[in-house]
Amino acid sequence: MNKLKILLLTISLQLISIGFSFAYCNFEIAGMGSNINELKAKVPGLYIPIGTDNQLTEIKIPAHKICGDPLYKDITILYEYINSKLVRIRLIDWDVVVNHLENLNYHFGEPKQKNNISYGVNYYYWNLSFREAFLNIETSPSGKINMASVEIMTSDYANQIREYMPEDE
């Protein structure tokens, strides 16, 4: 009976370690359109500036506070709120070690549009219910990935942000 317990424990630990080595990151820990307090509840010790109502607020969070995978340690995720409602999540990865396309495919499925080229900017687009996701990956002619950017935003983001942009003179 003891050998069976040890065997089950060993198998369980191996399965857990495999899960960690292929961890994905759900940047959308607070739902699009959710109140700013939902993010605060999910990230312990998060500072929210006073007076976030009726204005544009950006909150930066180190990805390691959200993602269990150590590959995300050097990434900062920006959560953008208008009138205390989440309207955009954005990150730029300058030292790309994460497969962002695989991560987004895991969470959103295959992109609706994609532009794969040998070098330059590869573009991926997901049209999701009430929100959209974008991935841009910049590669050099040698094939090295220079940077990757991810944006998840409400479908109405352009209209929502327009009221906070300065008027053209």
The domain segmentation of the chain, as residue ranges, is 28-162
Structure tokens given for 81:
């709120």
Model confidence over 77-131: pLDDT tens digits?
999 998 889 999 999 999 999 999 999 999 999 999 998 887 889 999 999 988 9
Cα–Cα distance, 130 to 32 (Å, whole number): 8
- The pLDDT mean for the chain works out to 83
How deeply is 148 buried, as exposed, middle or buried, from its count of CB atoms within 10 A (0-12, 13-18, 19+)? buried
pTM of the predicted model, to two decimals? 0.79
